Amino acid sequence: MCQLTAQEAEDALQALLNLWRENAAPRKQGAKPELPQACHAKAGELFQRWMHQRSVTQFWERCVRRDVVMSSRWFFWRNVHPQRTTLPSSGHVCAAFHGTWMYALWPIMASGCLLGSFSKDRGHGFWMPGVYCSPYLETALSYGRPHMMFGDGIWCRAVLELRVDLEKRSGRHKKGEQWVFQPGNLEIVGLWLKANAPPSAGEERLNTWDPMLEAVPRGWQRPPPVTNARTPYSAPHPVLKICRVLQRCDLGKR
């Protein structure tokens, strides 16, 4: 079991953000296409294996019922960490979302806490110290950097669902509707994984999983990458094979 305090989670993250940005620079890479639906069907299972490697499965409970509310590309885990902040119910508490890097997830999931942006030396971009979030899922999703986690051609993004107390909001920015809270004034409800969510042109992206870039808690070894044995490009992939047959039929009709 990997259970961290907020300070230990902060120590694990250290100054990695600058390295992530350097490796995620788009370097004139264009937009990437979505792949057929069946190609991302194993994303939830693969991420569960990723969690098991890091001994955090007891803190995050798979909740398939929440998936149905979204689409087949979304997978949800509920935060049941004993150290999580719990906000009292009131008329001022509402939902918000925070997009993050896949490399940052281990300390977050092991501590049940979300750390704020406070140090420009560590690569944090902010106009006010605190945790940045949005009431709009799509805004938060744009901050969840697309990452090809499992070496299978499928881009994944991570978004944390939060409960926040609007009476304790530190700041607000109307562009994209961003809110700022101090870490103690929000609660992590769960984690959304969106699979088959490729980058747009000019967007930061990570093409591989590099264990040396992951935020690793002190005293823990770096796990090897979790890989999907079947990729959309391996032969024969049933979905792509059908697509190619249909494409040839369409060309034959012209």
| 30 vs 41: CA distance, rounded Å | 25
| Domain boundaries, position 41 | 6-253
CB 115 within 8 A of CB 152: no
At 164-177, the pLDDT tens digits run 988 888 766 666 58
pLDDT band for position 119 (cuts 50, 70, 90): low
User: The pTM is what?
Assistant: 0.83
Q: How many domains does the chain have?
A: 1
Does residue 207 fall inside a structural domain?
A: yes
How deeply is 207 buried, as exposed, middle or buried, from its count of CB atoms within 10 A (0-12, 13-18, 19+)? middle
Evaluate if residue 156 carries a pLDDT over 50.
Answer: yes
Q: What is the pLDDT of residue 245?
A: 45
At 5-29, the pLDDT tens digits run 766 666 666 668 888 989 999 988 9
Evaluate if residue 199 carries a pLDDT over 90.
Answer: yes
Does residue 110 fall inside a structural domain?
A: yes
Q: What is the pLDDT of residue 125?
A: 57
Does residue 1 fall inside a structural domain?
A: no
In SS3 terms, the chain reads as: CCCCCHHHHHHHHCCCHHHHHHHHCCCCCCCCCCCCHHHHCCHHHHHHHHHHHCCCHHHEEECHHHHHHCCCCEEEEEECCCCCCCCCCCCCEEEEEEEECHHHHHHHHHHCCCCCECCHHHCCCCCCCEEEEECCHHHHHHHCCCECCCCCCCCEEEEEEEEEEHHHCCEEECCCCEEEECHHHEEEEEEEEEECCCCCCCCCCECCCCHHHCCCCCCCCCCCCCCCCCCCCCCCCHHHHHHHHHHHHHHHHC
